[in-house]
Chains A and B, each alone.
Chain A
């Protein structure tokens, strides 16, 4: 038996959050998500958490599990259990709606602010636009973000400043900046280099450490900073030889 210590809070009726402890018969290879399902199905039907794909692809189940933000479906109990205990809390820096469910509205609003779609004057109909494998490769790692929120919850800048665009949105911006088919590069750079953009990042690398998809938002931010600096240099004419 493993003990699960689970964060509980219903803002509608609870004055303050609390932790409940449950016994879970953990089988070999059992993910934390199945531990929560065990509790929900057998012990406490009121427990609230999100889940869907159970394959680390839909981004529903990011939470704080024994000291670190992880996907519950991707994390095996045996790999994280400490002294027979698994402690589960919701993502930080986002309002708790109930138990392990947080409000992702603000997080998605930041994503929306970077114009998260390909901007191109080519009409949708017509043939194929070529993109070389090298051009396409630039997008590797940037396009695999599942918007789970782990990086955001771990980011100290996001904690101190809710207006900061955040690692997820900034990495998303780079995905378009570096896409050979996108035509809004200048506009995008101006936007992400703005007041709440990349220069707020103190390169703490928490996002890179926690990302359950092994992505590197901090590296993406560094890449954007470089783009932005060379753009500024270009604008002031300083990059011309001689």
Chain B
């Protein structure tokens, strides 16, 4: 039995920031992570983090309020405006804090933290460390957690939550090194388990971004919010999937189609061009590709950064040069980069308020697995790192405060029951007598999602996907025997996580099907207009064995009433 006052599941940016906050308040905190924390998906973030510091010569009149408005407009008015204001206000301090803990931000000549322009922003406000911002932030937080003696359980996969009568008492974890099952008793549990880009095959996400943690909350009765909103990054590297940072378009990179046209001029004003928000650029690129105007008629376009010059590219974007050279043998200083839209960011997630609270007492969530909502229907580039740190910190504070009023003792047989049922689950997989193969099921799911739940969506294809996913869930119960070894058994781990991923795929596709409007990243060719009268609301999906039950939830509007979104 592992027992701590606070247990945080996930060692990415959100989990570590929350852990540090709670630990600095002097309480007993453990971080449980299926990966050694520095291996988390967060290490891949490139371009930077938005905060209205006003350091850039062109952003002297920037403010958290303008940043909030840009975010709300970017969200196509689906974000909760009170939460957005918290995020943009706290964002400034968050950046300074990371600086004080040693984050190697890039600097302007006057020694201040450097900022650059990103899409959909009125001012250049994206703070960055070259194009490895995620790596530097993650290292800095991990270092400070080690210094503060946060307790770590590395390579422990949480496989279920212990929830009784609307109160969470902990979780059950599987130790990857030896196959042991552990009861984890906690007075408060925080999920910071990241997004689910691996629903798709064309994705920038790490292989481990399966959404399993989100599925655990869903199975425990917590609703998932706005899952139909998935961000497709307009410029992912063809043949690999990682992103070619928006920072390049911010600096003036061009997009060209097969006819050599800078096609963005057809979609947005000349003042904005490649610097439009992601949903708009992704649709533009997809339209060019679908109309046969990809490069040589193929399914990609070109990003041209050559005119930015070797020096600027070497100092500001060394990681992008590396990625292009190592993975595609392209030299972006001399050649154009082949790019296409790819699944990138999970805007929806576990339904929480601005303190990370879920509907279940004692269960919290933060980071990409959660939906506050500050991104609404479309996240602005650079707002996700901000989200992980601001709401990681806030939730860290909230859980410490919650400890003081935590009620109830764990039910006597609770842990033993939970361990037993986890053991049975694993044993069932190992004792499988069917012929279905987890990899084949995952591939089929990816294909269905890639075909229908992407940049352009339409009822018929979505309906087929929902049905197809239900079929895969049924086939999942007839799988081949899964490998039974005890040490580093990835066959068992991937198979287990696949169950959660299949549940999320259904929520995403079914949610996209019922939302009969177009808003932000969710574009329905059969309902091409935004419909505020019927759909200016969040969707909540509740787990039911027969398929998700959807309900609406009002959007909080404080200052900015919805307007047509133009750039």
Name A's B-contacting residues (CB within 8 A): 10-12, 29, 31, 40-42, 45-60, 74, 97-99, 101, 104, 112, 115-118, 120, 122-133, 135-136, 139, 143-144, 146-147, 176, 179, 181-182
Contact = CB atoms under 8 A, between A and B. Distances in A.
Nearest to B482: A45
Contact of A56 (B106, B177, B326, B489): B326
Contacts of B242: 55
Given A40-B490, A98-B487, 5 more contacts: A97-B488, A128-B99, A130-B110, A130-B111, A143-B104
B206 A53 contact: yes
Name the 7 nearest CB pairs between A and B, nearest first. Answer: A130-B111, A118-B102, A117-B143, A48-B488, A45-B491, A41-B439, A58-B39
Interface string B135-152: 110011001101100000
A42 B97 CA distance: 48
B9 to A, nearest CB: 16
Interface in B97-155: 97, 99-102, 104-113, 129, 132, 135-136, 139-140, 143-144, 146-147
A222 to B, nearest CB: 22
A82 B146 CA distance: 43
Given A55-B44, A128-B112, A179-B102, A99 B488 contact: yes
Interface in B469-498: 482-483, 485-491
A115 B102 CA distance: 13
A133 B38 contact: no
A124 B490 contact: no
Interface of B: 35-36, 38-41, 43-44, 53, 93, 95-97, 99-102, 104-113, 129, 132, 135-136, 139-140, 143-144, 146-147, 177, 206-208, 239-242, 322-323, 326-328, 439, 482-483, 485-491
A120 to B, nearest CB: 7
Contacts of B95: 128
Contact of A58 (B43, B327, B485): B43
Nearest to B322: A56
Given A54-B207, A146-B38, A10 B483 contact: no
B143 A97 contact: no
Contact of B139 (A45, A122, A125, A143): A143
B39 A132 contact: no
A143 B139 CA distance: 9
B96 A58 contact: no
Contacts of A52: 35, 39-41, 206-208
Contact of A10 (B129, B206, B485): B485
A98 B177 CA distance: 9
Nearest to A75: B326
A97 B482 contact: no
Contact of B487 (A12, A126, A132): A12
A45 B39 CA distance: 23
Contact of B36 (A42, A47, A104, A124): A104
Contacts of B485: 10, 12, 46
A53 B99 contact: no
B314 to A, nearest CB: 11
Contact of A59 (B38, B129, B328): B38
A133 to B, nearest CB: 5
A53 B243 CA distance: 12
B102 A117 contact: yes
Nearest to B485: A46
Nearest to B45: A57
B521 to A, nearest CB: 23
Nearest to A101: B488
A54 B97 CA distance: 30
A9 B439 CA distance: 24
B147 A117 contact: yes
A136 B100 contact: no
A53 B38 contact: no
Contact of B146 (A53, A74, A116): A116
A116 B102 CA distance: 10
Most buried by B among A124, A125, A146: A124
A53 B44 contact: yes
Nearest to B243: A55
12 contacts: A31-B327, A47-B490, A56-B322, A104-B36, A117-B101, A117-B102, A125-B93, A127-B96, A128-B96, A136-B107, A144-B132, A182-B102
Interface centre among A47, A74, A132, A143 (most CB of B within 10 A): A143
A143 B327 CA distance: 22
A55 B323 contact: yes
A112 B147 CA distance: 9
A229 to B, nearest CB: 26
Contacts of A98: 487-488
B209 to A, nearest CB: 9
Contact of A45 (B104, B143, B483, B487): B483
B104 A139 contact: yes
A48 B43 contact: no
A24 B136 CA distance: 36
Given A51-B207, A52-B207, A129 B99 contact: yes
A144 B112 contact: no
A117 B146 contact: yes
Contact of B97 (A53, A117, A124): A124
Nearest to A104: B36
A132 B44 contact: no
Given A40-B490, A118-B102, A29 B239 contact: yes
B491 A125 contact: no
A74 B319 CA distance: 13
Given A29-B328, A123-B100, A125-B93, A46 B108 contact: no
A117 B103 CA distance: 10
